[in-house]
Structure 1
Amino acid sequence: MQILDQIRAEALERGIPASDVERWLGLVRPCALLTEGGDGPVVGRFGGPVMLPAGVEDPVYPLLATIDCAALPAGVTDLALPPDGRLLFFGFPEENGMGDVVHVPEGAAVEERARYPRTFPPDEDSYGPVYRELPEGDLYLTADVSLPFIGEIELPGPPWAEPLPGHPHSEEMAEVWADQWGGAPLLIGGYGTDYNGGDPVRIAARCAVKEEKAGRRPGPVSPRAEDWVLLAECSVDRPGAGATIFWVIQRDDLSARRFDRAYVLVDWNP
């Protein structure tokens, strides 16, 4: 409530009508901020061993983070996450990087895999500097709220079914929120920050539809951004460059635990 009060006060100071401010604040969603320190509970870790069931193929990308689903308190996100087991987020934060996400059910027999995938050997000059910047250690939870960072999103349901900027102050309200945003290296749920100046969820939906039409992605794929959600976002900074990885998934696939159908975007910032 304190964060929302700050946003409300700043927006009103900018001259945004109170009715439009409240309309925008109606989009608020809970999200989990995960950092390498803090006062909250430990809910996972950056890095660590790659533990996967025998039937799962070796990962193509390095392991970035493992989340203990049972350690996430109820209501910390509005996602239909598994109640237990672990979510393993793989990715490579570089220009040509991508990623995957795997759910390992509670009690599943697992075996340790190679830490470094063959496709991204750590001894190569192009990969070694990236590995040295990947975070390691426990992940601490902070429960937070999330609002859109980009004005171009689709407002859910009537009476706000039109795409933004149908909201007359969408860009200004997104700027207000960005000014209040403290950031975190890993987010679960909420709204994505920025993918090349656009909403990563909406862009992922469009890209997935194009791939389906081209026969490169099995259906069904919904073209509606509201049928997709941000599962997680990880930011890795290093001298002279950095990248943000977005794992986006259809709501139906998340509910059905079809994590292999997640769509991954990497925003590289040289």
Structure 2
Amino acid sequence: MILDQVRAEALDRGIPAGDVERWMRLVRPCALLTQGGDGPVVGRFGGPVRLPADVADPRFPLLVTIECSALPAGVTDLPLPSDGKLLLFGFPEPEGSYSMGDVVYVPEGAVTTERPEYPEGYPPDPDSYLGVYESLPDGEVRLTVDVSLPFVGVVELPEAPWMAPLPGHPHAEELAAVWADQWGGAQLLLGGYGTEHSDFAPAATIASFAVDAEKEGHRSGTSSPRAEDWVLLAEVNVDRPGAGATIYWGIQREDLAAQRFDRAHVAVYWNP
């Protein structure tokens, strides 16, 4: 099991056993969703876009549909709906930081109509986004039950406070490095801490982006700037020739509990 490997490697690196066990208390359950494996089908990449009449046509392509009733209890520590569908919209392009996608919850039994597969701003033309669409995964996704530990940054900058090591733990940086060495990545991740890139810790970065978006009029409402008030709902990793992108869907804890998925915020990490 990966936690046994993490524990053994941390001890081999000379980290005191008590500090290792303290770190292990941060473990969170998460769901890895892949197109392979023998786990149950819990959704699909792509597919038709069906939304209730009171929901506007999507601004971004549909990337993932999650069947909430297919998720076993406790597979994440998120208070997800027990039935209905979660639709995750987004696009793996470095076009900006603000609201680069949407989350729509469709309750079980809701009357829906089919919408355009390709949003107006993202046509599948050879001169525009055809190549991107061809890189997107398509088809059923299967569940693997897994666990998650934090990635923490190794540098603290005034303009990037989310890069600070986890406060109060003397070996946070070293233990995060152990986890990074063991973590194999995921095509689609539901819950957990998510994959941190060099200057991009998912929940903290999304919180910062959401606050900035409100200040600049790109988003309504009032969001908390504190990372602990946000959770990672999902992430999708898209490989493209010579580049890659990670799309993160985050939401405030209170909004998730109230199923206010229109308050979710989406950010893209672009890795050329």
The normalised TM-score by structure 1 is 0.92
Distance 2:231 2:8 in 1: 29
Amino acid at match of 1:45: R
Amino acid at match of 1:208: A
- How far off is 1:111 after superposition? 1.0
Distance 2:132 2:257 in 1: 33
Distance 1:266 1:214 in 2: 19
Render the CA deviation track for 1:136-167: whole Å, top value 9, x for unaligned.
11000000000012247xxxxxxxxx972532
SS at the partner of 2:176?
helix
* 2:29–2:148 Cα contact (<8 Å) kept: yes
Counterpart in the other structure of 2:158: none
Amino acid at match of 2:82: P
Please give the residue correspondences for 1:24-103 in structure 2 after superposition, counting only pairs within 5 Å. 24-96=23-95, 98-103=100-105
* 2:203–2:231 Cα contact (<8 Å) kept: yes
Amino acid at match of 1:125: D
- Which of 227, 236, 239 matches 1:237? 239
Number of corresponding residues: 260
Distance 1:262 1:38 in 2: 30
- How far off is 1:234 after superposition? 0.4
- How far off is 1:89 after superposition? 0.5
Distance 1:24 1:126 in 2: 46
Distance 1:142 1:166 in 2: 32
Counterpart in the other structure of 1:159: none
- How far off is 1:198 after superposition? 2.9
Distance 2:200 2:121 in 1: 29
Distance 1:223 1:239 in 2: 35
Unaligned runs of 5+ in 2: 155-163
Counterpart in the other structure of 1:143: 145
Please give the residue correspondences for 1:238-257 in structure 2 after superposition, counting only pairs within 5 Å. 238-257=240-259
* 2:53–2:113 Cα contact (<8 Å) kept: yes
2:208 is the alignment partner of 1:206: yes
SS at the partner of 2:120?
coil
* 2:153–2:199 Cα contact (<8 Å) kept: no
* 1:196–1:267 Cα contact (<8 Å) kept: no
Amino acid at match of 1:138: E
Render the CA deviation track for 1:24-82: whole Å, top value 9, x for unaligned.
11100000000001111000000110111111111111110100000000000000101
Deviation larger for 191-200 or 53-62: 191-200
- How far off is 1:84 after superposition? 0.5
Distance 1:132 1:266 in 2: 18
- How far off is 1:94 after superposition? 1.1
SS at the partner of 1:182?
coil
Amino acid at match of 1:33: L
Distance 2:113 2:37 in 1: 31
Unaligned runs of 5+ in 1: 153-161
Counterpart in the other structure of 1:224: 226
Superposition RMSD in Å: 1.6
Please give the residue correspondences for 1:85-234 in structure 2 after superposition, counting only pairs within 5 Å. 85-96=84-95, 98-151=100-153, 164-234=166-236
Q: Which runs of 4+ in 1 moved over 6 A?
A: none
Deviation larger for 177-186 or 65-74: 177-186
Distance 2:44 2:219 in 1: 31
Distance 1:268 1:151 in 2: 18
Alignment CA distance shift 1:196-1:53 (3 Å): farther
SS at the partner of 1:171?
helix
Distance 2:109 2:167 in 1: 47
- How far off is 1:214 after superposition? 4.3
Identical-pair percentage: 70
Distance 1:246 1:93 in 2: 10
- How far off is 1:124 after superposition? 4.3
SS at the partner of 2:248?
strand
The normalised TM-score by structure 2 is 0.91
